[in-house]
């Protein structure tokens, strides 16, 4: 199998259009010769999810991510013309949806090629779709960071496997390997002792959802502004700094990829107050597999919850 993280864009409709079998080389299962199933993901996270499924099959599957730079904020990524062309030429596009990576899936002409966790809606409108019929996952407060939801990851993996098998009926693609990788994450979060926390951006809503004992004390208006990807007001910052000063949180969750002067002030105030800071990013650091990263995040939360 082929794996890469070159700049590429994808879709998912042609998968059901052809039943030509693909092989990894020596297999004679393909009557018309080897054919590579090309999968392009919006971020390295979804590429890692797709790779786990790809590793379960002998078919030729090439997985790539549009975003490869871990310093890039995916909220505001702008694809190139080459990215868009690649998306429409490939077999499958894997996205989180919910508007987060609309810059990718809105460029795909054949929308049935797109595998997604959240609805394929316009950016900034997820809160209007929280009660839509047919949702695959539970949406928290209009939050787009769905890849920290283990259930959502598994749903996407299963759909990727189904799409590969539709393209190559002999592929035998399976999402079982991914379920093995995510097994235990939710249980470990649920077992965390009670803590109060705040977030510089609501990156950990889905991650911490299994916990009944962690309380989010992020000031309401600050949180609302960051959910809308806006800049909180000075008064919101003052409230956040007050939460830190008054000892109303035990842990600060900090997203380094959405760093601003305001979040830096919050970070520094927490450190000065002796409050542990747990960094949780939009994507893993360069080259790190998402599941290894997820493990490190859960471990960091466990360490700082003692």
Element (H, E) at 160: helix 150-167
Confidence of residue 4 (pLDDT cuts 50, 70, 90): very low
- 17-21, 129-133, 207-211: range with highest mean pLDDT: 207-211
In this predicted structure, the answer to whether residue 189 has a pLDDT above a threshold of 90 is: yes
**Domain match, 220 and 172 both:** no
Give the pLDDT mean for 11-30: 35
The total number of structural domains that make up the chain: 2
Which residues lie closer than 8 Å to 241 by C-beta, 6 or more apart? 265, 266, 269
Higher pLDDT, 165 or 12: 165
Domain, as residue range, for 281: 190-304
**Domain match, 63 and 125 both:** yes
Q: Is beta strand 114-116 parallel, antiparallel or unpaired with respect to 61-65?
A: unpaired
**Domain match, 62 and 154 both:** yes
**Domain match, 131 and 15 both:** yes
In this predicted structure, the answer to whether residue 258 has a pLDDT above a threshold of 60 is: yes
Higher pLDDT, 54 or 86: 54
**Domain match, 175 and 200 both:** no
**Domain match, 204 and 176 both:** no
**Domain match, 112 and 240 both:** no
**Domain match, 214 and 139 both:** no
In this predicted structure, the answer to whether residue 83 has a pLDDT above a threshold of 70 is: yes
Q: How far apart are CA 261 and CA 259, in angstroms?
A: 7
Q: What totals of helices (H) and strands (E) does the chain contain, helices first?
A: 11, 9
132, 148, 182 - which closes a domain:
182
**Domain match, 28 and 78 both:** yes
**Domain match, 249 and 124 both:** no
- Among 157-166, 171-180, 217-226, 262-271, the least confident range: 171-180
150, 182, 214 - which closes a domain:
182
DSSP-derived 3-state class of residue 145: coil
pLDDT (tens digit per residue) in 265-298: 999 999 999 999 999 999 998 789 999 999 999 9
Task: Give pTM, 2 decimals.
Answer: 0.85
Share of the chain above pLDDT 90, in %: 73
Query: What ranges make up the beta strands (E) of the chain?
Result: 2-3, 37-41, 61-65, 92-95, 114-116, 195-199, 214-216, 251-254, 277-279
DSSP-derived 3-state class of residue 215: strand
167 close to 15: Cβ distance less than 8 angstroms: yes
**Domain match, 84 and 206 both:** no
Which residues lie closer than 8 Å to 223 by C-beta, 6 or more apart? 199, 202, 216
Average pLDDT over the chain, rounded to whole? 88
60 close to 1: Cβ distance less than 8 angstroms: yes
pLDDT (tens digit per residue) in 126-152: 888 888 888 999 999 999 999 999 999
pLDDT the model gives residue 41: 97
Higher pLDDT, 8 or 112: 112
Distances (CA, A) of 73 to 64, 68, 194, 256, 282: 18, 11, 31, 10, 7
Q: Which of left, alpha, beta for 235 (phi over 0: left; psi -120 to 50: alpha)?
A: alpha
Q: How far apart are CA 18 and CA 171, in angstroms?
A: 13
Rg of the chain (C-alpha set): 20
Half-sphere exposure of 11 (CA within 13 A, CB side): 21
**Domain match, 130 and 263 both:** no
pLDDT the model gives residue 238: 99
182, 215, 250 - which closes a domain:
182
pLDDT the model gives residue 185: 96
Helix 234-245 to helix 220-227 angle (10° resolution) is 130
- Among 14-28, 30-44, 130-144, 195-209, the least confident range: 14-28
pLDDT the model gives residue 256: 93
pLDDT the model gives residue 26: 32
Share of the chain above pLDDT 70, in %: 89
CATH of the domain at 19: 3.40.50.1980
Strand partners, 94: 41, 115
In this predicted structure, the answer to whether residue 32 has a pLDDT above a threshold of 60 is: no
Give the pLDDT mean for 35-47: 96
Q: How far apart are CA 83 and CA 148, in angstroms?
A: 26
In this predicted structure, the answer to whether residue 22 has a pLDDT above a threshold of 80 is: no
pLDDT the model gives residue 123: 85
């Amino acid at each position: 199998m082929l794996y890469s993280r070159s700049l590429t864009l994808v879709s998912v409709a042609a998968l059901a259009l052809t039943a030509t079998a693909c092989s990894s080389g020596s297999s004679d299962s393909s009557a018309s010769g080897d054919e590579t199933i090309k999968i392009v993901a919006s971020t390295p996270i979804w590429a890692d999810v797709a790779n786990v499924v790809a590793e379960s099959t002998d078919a030729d599957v090439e997985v790539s991510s549009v975003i490869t730079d871990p310093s890039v904020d995916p909220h505001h990524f702008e694809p190139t013309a080459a990215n868009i062309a690649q998306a429409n030429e490939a077999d499958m596009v894997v996205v989180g949806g919910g508007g987060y990576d609309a810059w990718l899936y809105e460029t795909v002409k054949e929308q049935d090629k797109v595998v997604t966790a959240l609805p394929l809606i316009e950016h900034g409108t997820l809160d209007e779709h929280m009660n839509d019929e047919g949702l695959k996952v539970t949406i928290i407060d209009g939050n787009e960071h769905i890849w920290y939801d283990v259930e959502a990851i598994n749903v996407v993996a299963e759909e990727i496997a189904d799409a590969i098998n539709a393209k190559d009926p002999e592929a035998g693609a399976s999402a079982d390997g991914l379920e093995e990788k995510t097994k235990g994450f939710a249980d470990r979060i649920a077992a965390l002792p009670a803590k109060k926390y705040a977030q510089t951006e609501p990156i950990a809503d889905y991650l911490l959802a299994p916990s009944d004992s962690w309380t989010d004390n992020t000031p309401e208006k600050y949180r609302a502004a960051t959910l809308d990807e806006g800049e909180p007001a000075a008064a919101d910052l003052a409230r956040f700094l007050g939460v830190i000063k008054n000892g109303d949180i035990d842990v600060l969750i900090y997203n380094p990829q959405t760093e601003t002067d305001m979040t830096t002030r919050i970070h520094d105030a927490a450190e000065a107050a002796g409050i542990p800071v747990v960094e949780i990013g939009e994507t893993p650091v360069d080259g790190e597999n998402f599941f290894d990263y997820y493990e490190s995040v859960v471990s960091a939360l466990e360490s700082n919850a003692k």
